[in-house]
Structure 1
C-alpha cells in the first residue's frame, strides 16, 4: 500500500511539474491569428477549463508537500546557489552585481530612464556580461535611426513602413515593448532608413514562435541599392530580382534534430549571385532560444554579423567597391504552418567607426552610446562588452592615463531622478572596468550630469538616443 501511494505521488508530481514548465515557456501574443484557428481555440477552451480546475487542486496538494518537506529538511543545493548569487535558472555567478548583471530589465539605453530602446533580447537563460566575453561588436558613433514601434497602436501596421505583405504591431509575453509581426510572405521597408554608409552598425531584436517549422521561410535582412525605394524594395522577396545587395537569412529551426537554427549569406553584384554560404545557427533556435539580439557591422567591404554573443558571419568582401547602398528591406516567403511568425523590434542604426584610442588619448575626450543599461537601472547590458573592452584596452596600453567617467540622460522623466541615475550608471561603468578588465579603480573617478547637458535637442527618438551617452574625460 505504501509503495502504491508513493507511485501515485510521483506520478502526480511529474504531471504537475510538466504542466508548470509548459506555462513557463515564452509565448507570443498574436492578435492576427487566422480565423479558422479561433474555432479550435473556442472548442478547446471549454475542455481546458475543466482540466485546469483539476490541475489546480493537484498543484495545491503537491506544493503543500514541497513546503512541508523544505521546512523540515532545507535543500543544501538550493542554499548554496543562493549564497553564490544564483539567477532564476539555477546558474551561479560569484562576481559582483556590477560586473555581471542579470538580464531582467527591459531597456536598451545608454544612460537614461527613457524606454526608447527597450531590450527584449532575453533567452531562456538570462545572459550576463561575462557570457559575451568573445563579443567584439562596437556600435557606430552616431545614432541616425531608431524604431521601437511605441508610437504605433497595437493591431496597426507601423506608420513609417511600407510593405507588399501583411503585418501588425503586437506585444509578446515576457518581453517588453511593441513588436512588428510578419504574418504573410512579403517585403517590408523601413522608409526612415535612407543611407547605409561605408561604416555603419545595425542592431535589432528578433523573435519567432516556439513551434516554428523547418519548412517555413527564412527572415531575410537585405542591405541594398535602390533607385526608387517605393518600387525597388519589392524586388527583394523569396526569389529576388536584385541589382546590388547583401542578403542575410535567419531561421530558428534546422533539420535532423540539431538544437540550432540556420543562417545564410548571399552577395549580389550587377544582378548576379556572386557569393553564397549557409551554416548552423545555435544562438537562434525554436523552442529554446527563440528570442535573440542581432548585430550587423559594415566596415567598407567587410560585413560581420552576430546573433547574441556569437559571430556567425565575417565576410571580408561582402559589399562591392564603388556601390552606394541606401536601404534595408526585411522579407520572408511562405510559411509551412499558418501560425509561424517572425517579430522584430528595437531597430538601431548608427554610423561612424568609433575612434576610442585617438579621441581619448590625443583629444582628451571619448563619448559613446555603446554602453547600454537596463531600463531605469544601472545594470549594464551584456552587448556592451565590445565597447567596454575597447575602452579597457586603451586604458591598459596607457597606464599613466586617468579618466573621469560621466553619465548623461535624455530629458524624459524627472530631472532629479535622471541626475541620480546618470551618477549610478557612471559608477557602474567604473566597477565593470575594474572587475571585468582589471583597470585600477584609482585611475577613474565618476560623475553624472543627468539631462542638463544635451548633445543634441531632445525632439526626436534619434536625438534622445544620442543624448543617452557615457563620456570619458582624460584628466
Structure 2
C-alpha cells in the first residue's frame, strides 16, 4: 500500500518528507489519550485512539495530493494557536482551585480584573448555589485507570484524562448506573452541579439520564425500578437535543414532559461539554444546562419523601461497536445545601459569605456561571443605596502563601469591577481586600474543605 502511494515521487528526499508528513498527521489525531500510558485507562480507549490514528493517516495521504507546502502552513498555524491558547498547567487541580505548591506557575498573575466577554451570556442565569459545600469531587485523589472511592455501580467505569488537560473524568462505557454515595441526603434546599462530556459517534442511538429519588436501601438500589416510588427522572438522547422529564410521587407519575428540545445537548461527532445545575427549593425544581433554564417546576418534589439517591446512567451503550463507543463522562460534581439569604445576612447581620463566585484557575477572571450570585448581591446593593461594603477574597492553602494573598486581593477587585460594570454599583461604595489562605473556615485536607475556603466575603461598613 505505501509503495503505491509513493510511486509518483521518484526521489528519496521527497519520500522522506512525505513520510514525515504522515507521522505528523497521525500524531495530531492521537492527541486524545490518557496521560499515563501504563494505566488501564489508556487500554480502555485504545480502540478509539487507534481509530483516530488511522483517520489521521488517511488525511495525511490526502495532504500529499494537495502538495507538500500545506505542511508548513499547518506548522505555522499550530505555532500561532500555541501563542493564542496557552496550555493548562498539568498540576492544576480544578477549575475553581489553585495549583499545588510544586507548580512553577503557582497562582501566577494571569490578568488584572479583566472580565470574560461570556459573562453577559449568563444575564438570565439566576442559579444560586447552596450555602455550604457538602461534597466536591473532581477525582483529583483517584489514580487514572481506577474506579473512584465514594461511588457505587452495577456496571463499570474508570477515571481518565483527555488530551493534555489535567481534568479527570469518570468514563462510563457500559449500561448501568453510577451513584456517588457521598450524596446520601438531599434536603429541601440543595444544589447539585456537574459537568458532562459527550461525543456522539456514528449515529449510535444512546440515552443518558440522571435520577434523584427516595430509596429504602440506596446501596442495593442500582436500577431504575424504584424511581416510581418518589423521585425525578431526566433523560436525553445523545446528540439530538431531545430530552424528557418525569416526576413521581408515591408510585404515581405526577409530571411528564417528553417534548424538551435543548440546543446545548445537540452535537455530532465533535465532543461537547455541558454543565448541569440542579436546584431544589422545597417542592420547586429548577434544572439548567449551561446558562439556560430548561425546567422550572413548582411542584416536582414530595415534601413527605426523603430523597437520598442521585445517580447517572446510560442505556444501549454496549450496543455500540468496540471502535465506535459514545463517550459519556462526568466530572466536577459540586453538592451544596442551604438556601443563601443574601439580603438578610448582608443588611441585617452585616456579613455575607459565598462560595458561588467562581474563578478560572490561578486567575481573577470570574466564571460566567457566577452571574446568579453576583446578580443577588447587586440587587441588594441597589435596593440599599446607602450601604457600603468591603469585599474580601479568600483562597485554599494550595500554592505559595504570598501568591495566594495576591490572588485573593485581585479576585476581590475583580468582583468589585463586575458589580460596577454589570449592575451599575458605584465603585465608591465598595472597598476590597484579600486574606489569602489565612482565614480558613474548613480543613484544607479534602476537596470540599478547599471548596468552602475558596470564597468571597461581603462585610457591611
TM-score class, shorter: 0.7 to 0.9
Residues 176/313 of structure 1: CA separation in 2 closer, same or farther (3 Å cut): farther
CA distance, structure 1, for counterparts of residue 149 and residue 204 of structure 2: 32
CA contact (8 A) 1:27 1:209 kept: no
Residues 307/127 of structure 1: CA separation in 2 closer, same or farther (3 Å cut): farther
From 339, 350, 372, the counterpart of 1:386:
372
- Shift in Å at residue 361 of structure 1? 0.3
CA distance, structure 2, for counterparts of residue 448 and residue 314 of structure 1: 37
- Shift in Å at residue 211 of structure 1? 3.0
CA distance, structure 2, for counterparts of residue 311 and residue 150 of structure 1: 29
Residues 152/51 of structure 1: CA separation in 2 closer, same or farther (3 Å cut): farther
CA distance, structure 2, for counterparts of residue 366 and residue 308 of structure 1: 26
TM-score of the superposed pair, with normalisation by structure 1: 0.76
- 1:284 and 2:295 equivalent? no
- Shift in Å at residue 346 of structure 1? 0.1
- Shift in Å at residue 314 of structure 1? 0.6
- 1:227 and 2:216 equivalent? yes
- Shift in Å at residue 158 of structure 1? 1.2
Q: How does 1:403-414 map to 2 (within 5 A)?
A: 403-414=389-400
CA distance, structure 2, for counterparts of residue 436 and residue 172 of structure 1: 35
Q: What is residue 69 of structure 2 aligned with on the other side?
A: 58
CA distance, structure 2, for counterparts of residue 173 and residue 453 of structure 1: 36
- 1:329 and 2:311 equivalent? yes
Q: How does 1:229-378 map to 2 (within 5 A)?
A: 229-232=218-221, 234-236=222-224, 242-254=228-240, 261-278=241-258, 279-287=260-268, 290-335=272-317, 336-338=319-321, 339-378=325-364
- Shift in Å at residue 189 of structure 1? 1.1
Q: What is residue 199 of structure 2 aligned with on the other side?
A: 209
From 162, 170, 175, the counterpart of 2:160:
170
Q: Helix, strand or coil for the counterpart of 2:207?
A: coil
- Shift in Å at residue 28 of structure 1? 7.2
Q: Helix, strand or coil for the counterpart of 2:70?
A: helix
TM-score of the superposed pair, with normalisation by structure 2: 0.79
Q: What is residue 112 of structure 2 aligned with on the other side?
A: none
- Shift in Å at residue 290 of structure 1? 1.3
CA contact (8 A) 1:28 1:209 kept: no
Residue ranges of structure 1 left out of the alignment (5+ in a row)? 1-18, 67-86, 89-104, 116-125, 255-260
Q: Helix, strand or coil for the counterpart of 2:372?
A: helix
CA distance, structure 1, for counterparts of residue 367 and residue 344 of structure 2: 26
CA distance, structure 2, for counterparts of residue 396 and residue 43 of structure 1: 59
Answer with 37-46 or 454-463: which moved more: 37-46
Residue ranges of structure 2 left out of the alignment (5+ in a row)? 1-23, 35-40, 78-83, 86-91, 102-115
- 1:399 and 2:385 equivalent? yes
CA distance, structure 2, for counterparts of residue 28 and residue 275 of structure 1: 42
Q: What is residue 111 of structure 2 aligned with on the other side?
A: none
CA contact (8 A) 1:410 1:464 kept: yes
Residues 263/44 of structure 1: CA separation in 2 closer, same or farther (3 Å cut): closer
